[in-house]
Structure 1
Amino acid sequence: MSDQLSYPDLVLDPSIRDWVLIPIFVIMFLMGILRNNVTKMMRSSEKTKRDTVQQNNLLMRARRLRANAGWVPAAAFAARKHHFCDKEKGLLMQKQDAPNPMAAMSDPNMMSKMMQGNMAMMVPQMLMMVIIPHFFSGFVLGKIPFPLTPSFKGMLQRGVNLSTLDTAYITSMSWYILAMFGMRGLYSIVLGAGSTTDDSALMQQQMGMAAGGGQPGQQPDYNKLYATEAENLQITEHKFHLSAAEEKLLRGGKADGVTARGKAKRA
């Protein structure tokens, strides 16, 4: 009775690897590259405003001063700190125009950007969902090297309805789904970190655009950013790293000389 309930072991034809598994992987990889190039072509080049560049540069200068405060003399650091944090004339204390949260929603190009993003994400997936079942249905491609419960049959054995087949075996449709979410690292190596082939990232971007936040057209609140950076700069403790540079240099030279003489005596 136990022999009848046990799952039989399958001997897979090596031709399945050459004509099903590898072609699905290659097709998905080429489709991802094509989608990345099409998305870059559809993406409109947005011009950065001059005020935005100046505000970002001001924040970067203040953060660099705070990060490298130990390499600036005390008088120079105090002068720069006064230049940024003075209550009346400090650059970080100047009031900036408050951003309009509805400006991005009223942008006529926002709807077209959302439609382009949806097309770049959905059209390739719909095309692959037609190609894979049509050309590669009914194939068992491999076996997962660990046991699984029968509840995974519907996910791993799509297109092959066999109750006696072990749950660890995967079909061509399941291989497509697994590879779709597992090729992120390969795309980042081939196309770089800024590639637009990550489906989860595209979905998050679309959700952010629909919610009215996170899109390039929306400006951050520079008043809060300036206030936070001014507070961090004011509480920064200054300690000049080169205050005892001569003594450290002399101690290092003396130690090196003693070590060199010791090595000469041992030789």
Structure 2
Amino acid sequence: MAEPELLLDSNIRLWVVLPIVFITFLVGVIRHYVSILLQSDKKLTLEQVSDSQVLIRSRILRENGKYIPKQSFLMRKFYFNNQEDGFFKKTKRKVVPPSPMTDPSMLTDMMKGNVTNVLPMILIGGWINWTFSGFVTTKVPFPLTLRFKPMLQQGIELLSLDASWVSSASWYFLNVFGLRSMYSLILGQDNGADQSRIMQEQMSGAAMAMPADTNKAFKAEWEALELTDHQWALESVEEELMSKELDLDGMFSTELPTGIF
């Protein structure tokens, strides 16, 4: 015999489900603007700016070198890729990995990240769990196994309850990770309200904190420029222009105004 279907009071939707959605969304928006206010601009050294500009110049030469004569292209390529004193050959940068113990800015950024991301999630989650504890809010439209009960039914200890039902505390965490598209639509793609993206960045923070190896970038650009051959795209442009018929009839047909007003 099938178990009777559980019916929820319509007031739960009005006083539990929708308030949790609105609170989660507003907290995300506030977190986004607070992170903008606390964001500090990363200071770049003169050496880093110079290296980035050199890489940009080399990439532009590879992409647009066909629009300059071959001699000009080879002169620029010689400056970058000469085996003896080329820029990419003679320039060696010393890469020093930053350490949080010696760099106070990294400690400040970590503290700001905890204040804007971890602390609001703990406080709002605890407040929602205390205020709306014990409510069954909604049901997922597909059957689930019993292993999903601890994840979807936090705060409700009913063994007979189907695993498809979602408690109020679990509904909050589903909204934290489920409002990502709404944040991207309203606040833009790279926003500070996307909790899932922030957690992914924190998990890979050790790898992201490592600076880019400038020597490897120089080597890769040297190899790419070395394989680039000059194919002048404007070699026969004069003949092509002279071979076309120029329509000069309409140039002097328009009468010029004789008066100022």
TMscore range, shorter length: 0.7 to 0.9
Of the structure 1 ranges 133-142 and 21-30, higher mean CA displacement relative to structure 2 is found in 133-142
Q: What CA distance in whole angstroms lies between the structure 2 residues aligned with 1:142 and 1:60? A: 54
Q: Which runs of 5+ in 2 are unaligned?
A: 246-261
Residues 75-99 of structure 1 show CA distances to partners (whole Å, capped at 9, x for unaligned) of 3332322222123343322323312
Residue 212 of structure 2 corresponds to residue 220 of structure 1: yes
CA contact (8 A) 1:143 1:170 kept: yes
- Do the aligned partners of 2:136 and 2:166 also contact (CA within 8 Å) in 1? yes
CA distance in 2, matches of 1:12, 1:250: 82
Q: Residue 125 of structure 2 contacts residue 172 of structure 2 at CA under 8 Å; is this kept in 1?
A: no
In 2 relative to 1, CA 252–184 (structure 1 residues): closer, same or farther, beyond 3 Å?
A: farther
Contact 1:20 1:172 in 2 (8 A): yes
Match of 2:159 among 163, 187, 206: 163
Residues 72 and 184 of structure 1, relative CA distance in 2, 3 Å threshold: farther
Cα pair 2:65 2:230 within 8 Å, conserved: yes
Structure 2 CA distance for partners of 1:172 and 1:70, relative to 1, 3 Å: farther
Equivalent of 1:57, from 53, 57, 73? 53
**What's the CA shift string for 1:69-118, capped at 9, x where partnerless?**
44444333323222221233433223233122256652133223222222
For 1:263, the equivalent position in structure 2 comes to none
Q: 1:234 to 1:196 in 2, by over 3 A?
A: same
TM-score (norm 2): 0.80
Distance 2:216 2:172 in 1: 46
- Mind listing any 5+ residue stretches in structure 1 that lack a counterpart? 254-267
Q: How many residues align?
A: 245
Quickly say closer, same or farther: Cα 1:102–1:132, change in 2 above 3 A: closer
Separation in 2, partners of 1:48, 1:59: 16
Corresponding residue to 1:17 among 13, 16, 26:
13
Among candidates 33, 39, 45, match of residue 41 of structure 2: 45
Distance 1:151 1:243, change over 3 A: same
Residue 92 (str. 1) matches residue 118 (str. 2): no
Contact 2:151–2:170, Cα closer than 8 Å, also in 1: yes
Task: Check if 1:188 corresponds to 2:180.
Answer: no
State the shift of 1:148 in Å.
Answer: 1.0
Distance 1:102 1:124, change over 3 A: closer
Name the CA distance, whole Å, in 2 between partners of 1:103 and 1:153: 42
Counterpart residue number, 1:262: none
Corresponding residue for residue 148 of structure 2: 152
**Residue equivalent to 2:112:** 116
Moved more, 183-192 or 40-49: 40-49
Letter matched to residue 219 of structure 2: A
Distance 1:252 1:151 in 2: 76
Specify whether residues 252 and 107 from structure 1 end up closer, same or farther in structure 2 by C-alpha distance, changes over 3 A only. Answer: same
Cα separation, 2, equivalents of 1:118 and 1:14: 37
What is the deviation of 1:233?
0.6
Which letter maps to 2:46? Answer: R
* 1-structure distance, mates of 2:180, 2:89: 43
Please tell me the root mean square deviation across aligned C-alpha atoms, in Å: 2.9
Structure 2 residue 224 is the aligned partner of structure 1 residue 232:
yes
Q: 2:123 aligns with which of 127, 137, 144?
A: 127
- Give the aligned partner of residue 30 of structure 1: 26
